[in-house]
Amino acid sequence: MKTCKIKSYAKINLYLGVFKKRKDNYHRIITLFERINLCDEIYLKPRPDKKIRIICNNSRVPKGKANLAYRAASLLRRDFAINNGLDIKIIKRIPLAAGLAGGSSNAASVLLVLNRLWNLNLNRKKLLCYGKMLGMDVPFFLVDTSFAVGRGRGDEIRVLGALKKRFWHILIVPKLKVSTKAVYNRLDKIFKPSDTGLTKATRDVKLLGQRLKRGKIPLIRKSLFNRLQMATFNLYPSLKQLNKMLLNLGRQAILMSGSGPAMFGIVSSRKEASILCRKLSSIGNCDMFIARTR
């Protein structure tokens, strides 16, 4: 096995409905994922010993079992009695813990590459089983699609295969650590989620899918939704203020991705995204990116 390189893409949630807890204590959700071209690079290289080692340009990335890429390789090596060790080098460009699922994407990339390089011959169904073991966002990155609906914990994936449109985005990522667990706990106190809205959520996701196919950005913006946003803003008032500032400066629909803190807007072109970035350049303590559907 020679050194292998793969790109590991980020996601945003164009829609995120949250409902009451399942028996496993996870909330039921309905979400519409979009894969974007903001990405990490991963290099896999064999080792002569049996160790799995994580190497990363970002010191905040965990190096052991807390790293999903590490766990992905460890699971496959254990289940298929692989004797090889592995270096996993991650060039990290996706901001950490931002609601963009960089760690989940890294894990999916490692599963896909090792399935081929270790000749495991796992089909999609079996790969998705491994993905679900690792995290609720991992399965989305295993189906190689730009758009998909996630149900259950978000890991029951239905591909929106007929959707060929590509969209430009501006991403604003505050340098703030957000606790996903705390956000869900606050959501339960604010909304007391139930399953009564599942039918409406399914209808709303279907409508958003239809609007994405038509590519009419003003209509798409009206369908963007994230149930977690209010809970996150309630816990972190600075994010609420930032969102208000972004709306005033950019005059665009700005939505949080996942539990945050990353926020995004859909724009008509790269040029419009660049103009918005210049307008928003005065906002401090944030990273900004221009990204497109991948």
292, HSE (Cβ side, Cα atoms, 13 Å): 10
Residue identified by tokens 């994936």 is: 157
Is residue 90 within 8 Å of residue 7, measured between CB atoms? no
Residue type at 262? Answer: A
Interior/surface letters 16-55, b for 16+ CB within 10 angstroms, e for the rest:
bbbbeeeeeeebbbbbbbbbbebbbebebbeeeeeebbbe
Provide DSSP, 102-113: HHHHHHHHHHHH
**183 and 14 in contact (C-beta within 8 Å)?**
no
CA gap 118, 102 in Å, rounded: 24
Q: Characterize the bridge pairing of strands 225-226 and 4-21.
A: parallel
Q: Which two tokens stand for residue 276?
A: 């918005």
Which listed residue (2, 11, 49, 65) is catalytic? Answer: 11
Whether 144 is catalytic is: no
Residue 137 falls in the annotated catalytic set: yes
Which of 40, 92, 137, 155 is the catalytic position? 137
Residues taking part in catalysis: 11, 137
